[in-house]
Amino acid sequence: MKYTIITGATSGIGYDLSKVFASNKHNLILVSRNKEKLETIKHTLSKEYLIDVLIFTCDLSRSEEINNLCENIISSKVQIEYLVNNAGVGSFGPFYKIPENEDLNIIDLNIRSLTHMTKVFLPYFVEKNHGGILNVSSTAAFSPGPYMAVYYSSKAYVLSLTEALREEVKNKDIKISVLCPGPTDTNFQNNAKVKKADFAKKSMMDSSTVATIAYDGFIKGKTIIIPGFNNKFLAFFSKILPRKLLIKIISKVNGV
Ligand SMILES: NC(=O)c1ccc[n+]([C@@H]2O[C@H](COP(=O)([O-])OP(=O)(O)OC[C@H]3O[C@@H](n4cnc5c(N)ncnc54)[C@H](OP(=O)(O)O)[C@@H]3O)[C@@H](O)[C@H]2O)c1
């Protein structure tokens, strides 16, 4: 039996990705810090979609916990087919006012843990010449992001890493994709204390639509998956606008 690992599966995009993978008959290994929520989701998805679900609690911002997680997954002797690096957090405000631990936590989770998980599982996929990794970035990857500077930078790293890895394994039967959603209606905005204008709240995508588009794009082998017209439009304009102007626009949109 083959399994897909999904990090940050208890909420938002990760939860909806878990549902979409389950509905397409993938067995799941779900990871987050919250045991109770994981148990509830395991119960719901295994019953509704008749798949096997394994759950692992792990604080992915702590590398010793990632080591334990990977050892436990490998020693459970199940075959891993796909890895979805979804767990991520943000922070909001001027860089010089955001507490150090919040921004360092973004680097530990959004960058370090994603790289660590990829370091463990990409060689495994290469050895089998089969598998895939879906990394969750953001439209934030396309520009510097005043007032969410570390978050935007972390997502640029995820985009860059994923495109590079895709090229490295292009002759193998391995899928490598990066999902770049724009603002999506999840707990993310509240947790990151993002202030959003009413018009911006209304234009958010729902996470189940994002997850469905992500799954389809990943299975088809797309490299960069950008859900929704507005986000594609933003990605296009970030390529053609002068960088100085782009930064000013993002600064106005994020501005506190
Ligand atoms: N929502 C948006 O507007 C948006 C836009 C673009 C990209 N994204 C990206 O989409 C991804 C998912 O975000 P979301 O919007 O679905 O946010 P969310 O609803 O806040 O979900 C975040 C998930 O990550 C898990 N998580 C957080 N810290 C963790 C840690 N230290 N260790 C393990 N798991 C941890 C949480 O689980 P526990 O609390 O149970 O541990 C939760 O399942 C992130 O990478 C985010 O950057 C979001």
The CATH homologous superfamily to which domain 2-254 belongs is NAD(P)-binding Rossmann-like Domain (3.40.50.720)
Distance 197 CA to ligand 1 centre (A): 21
The finding on whether 14 has its CB within 6 A of some atom of ligand 1 is yes
Where along the chain do its domains lie?
2-254
pLDDT at 198: 62
Which numbered atom of ligand 1 lies nearest the CA of 136? 45
Tens digit of pLDDT for each residue in 83-101?
999 999 999 999 999 999 9
Cα→Cα distances 170→71, 116, 117, 141, 161, Å: 28, 21, 20, 22, 14
pLDDT at 199: 61
pLDDT at 15: 98
pLDDT at 178: 98
pLDDT at 195: 79
- Say how far apart CA 235 and CA 249 lie, in whole Å: 13
Tens digit of pLDDT for each residue in 221-237?
999 999 999 999 999 99
Which residue owns the Cα nearest ligand 1 atom 21? 11
Which numbered atom of ligand 1 lies nearest the CA of 191? 20
pLDDT average, residue stretch 67-77: 96
Tens digit of pLDDT for each residue in 23-61?
999 999 999 999 999 999 999 999 999 999 999 999 999
Q: Both tokens of residue 150? A: 């570390």
pLDDT at 4: 98
Which numbered atom of ligand 1 lies nearest the CA of 184? 3
- Give the helix/strand (H/E) hosting 245: helix 243-254
**Active site members:** 151
pLDDT at 255: 85
